[in-house]
Amino acid sequence: MANISANELKKGFIINHNNGMWKVVSTEHVKPGKGGAFIQAELKNIKTNSKLNERFRSEDKVDRLILETVDAQFSYINGDSALFLRMDTYEELELNLSDIGDDHVFLIDDLKVKIELIDDAFVGIVLPENIKLKVIETDPEIKGATVTNVSKPAKLNNGITIQVPSFIKEGELIIVNIESRQYRERA
């Protein structure tokens, strides 16, 4: 644990606040015309997922919790849990799908991720920015549509449906951005 000034708060930091672990979602430095400057921070409770908007004065001290990031590889889903193999110790880590959130649909065999821990307790997971998926169902190619910006729905092998350019065919591998859930390019 490190004691830092509120001015040093950044998105992604984990802090000890009101007897709980909170992740900093966003910060804004505010300097009103009258009075002292302050930091407006949006916080998310790691355990309950509740959100809190908190105002810190510039001179306030905050307890920053130090994250340990470990490399892991996704193994399989077992009911409501996802199992990962920790690459440094070869231990198996079991995480609740609800803790991973909606991005659990992108967990495919042998996917390499980073798992964030504090005192060996799960805090978060960092998935790669892009992932290679296979188109399993889509409408036939529209002739001459390569010039235009026409898109069509395509169902992928992980079960989600996204919009893809009209020249993409069934069976093709494509790159999808996990955060935006949008087509990037052919694989």
pTM of the model: 0.69
pLDDT recorded at residue 147: 58
pLDDT recorded at residue 143: 67
Are 9 and 56 in the same domain? Answer: yes
Q: Which domain holds residue 168?
A: 130-186
Measured distance CA(164)–CA(138) in Å, rounded: 9
Are 7 and 60 in the same domain? Answer: yes
* pLDDT, mean of each 10-residue run, the chain (187 residues): 82 85 88 87 85 90 88 93 93 87 87 87 85 92 66 92 91 91 90
pLDDT recorded at residue 160: 93
Supply the CATH number for residue 42's domain.
2.30.30.30
**Boundary residue ending a domain (126, 159, 175):** 126
> What backbone torsions phi and psi does residue 7 show, to the nearest 5 degrees?
-65, -25
pLDDT recorded at residue 20: 85
Are 77 and 40 in the same domain? Answer: no
Measured distance CA(46)–CA(75) in Å, rounded: 24
